[in-house]
Structure 1
Amino acid sequence: MIFDLLDLTLLQHWPFLTLVLSITLINTGYFVPYVHFVAHARSIGFDEYEAAFLMSVAGVMDLIGRLLSGWFSDLRRMRLVHILMLWTSLTGVSLIAIPFGRTYSALMTISVAYGFCAGALTPVVFSLLPEIVGIGRIYGALGLLQMLESVGGLLGAPIS
């Protein structure tokens, strides 16, 4: 019964494995700001409410990023894989910028950029998956993807 839902043949499907590896690596850095950004802002000298507000803004921007990215992806002006590369690159740039943010306005800008771009990743991944594996294998692919990508999410923050 469980093996009917868990399509292990996907582990031999190279395009799927490439996506899984990519998303796992993305998830290694994805949750780092949620764990360390407030502490970083506090270490610079901002009070706990100012620091916490940065993450609140990132959360709101995450929601806006998801909505607009899903809408933009549906327009099909670009291939989904290119949209994923765009959001991944911009998320990476915002992560790299965190140590350079020394003022509250700089940290707020980084928080807005990170929240929007990181949120924009999610709908693209879920839209790209059926293109890679086909609609008939989507349930097994989604389960395997989320199971394997969680390894990156679990390891990223402690490693950082």
Structure 2
Amino acid sequence: MTLTKELSVGEVASRAGVAVSTIHFYESKGLISSYRDSANHRRFHRDILRKISVIRIAQQAGIQLREIKEALSTIPNDKTVSVKDWERLSSSWRQQLNDRINQLTDLRDNLDTCIGCGCLSMKNCKLANPNDILGKDSPGPHIYHGEPLAG
């Protein structure tokens, strides 16, 4: 059996454990790229499998596709993502993940003070309206669209 350096979209999907539509989606978003062979079939370098792994791990960590695309743009299309590349990419997302962990910890620790009614004007609401900041504008429920409020 000869090992080729190029894969069809179906082979990529199968090897990466995703649907063909996911491969098409990643390509439409500019996260990965393919080329056309002489028969006009879409082909991918084998290196794409590691990039797809990076995309999936980053997505599981909650990294936005825009940020993943920006990070992957620093790696040439025909280059395999190396351990050094991964260390650089993952370290760039570390603070964002730490911030999210802290927000979730605050949510967990203050959840018992929230009655989930959506009033957002309770003076003791530590989650969505600490110190009744939103109640200063007007009474009743409000949806805060600015920066997360610190308690």
Same-fold status (TM-score > 0.5): no
Query: Which structure ranks higher in relative contact order (CA pairs < 8 Å, sequence separation ≥ 6)?
Result: 1
* Alignment TM class, shorter chain as reference: under 0.3
Structure 1 or 2, whichever has the larger Rg, is 2
Larger helix percent: 1
What is the TM-score with the length of structure 1 in the denominator? 0.25
What is the TM-score with the length of structure 2 in the denominator? 0.26
Larger strand percent: 2
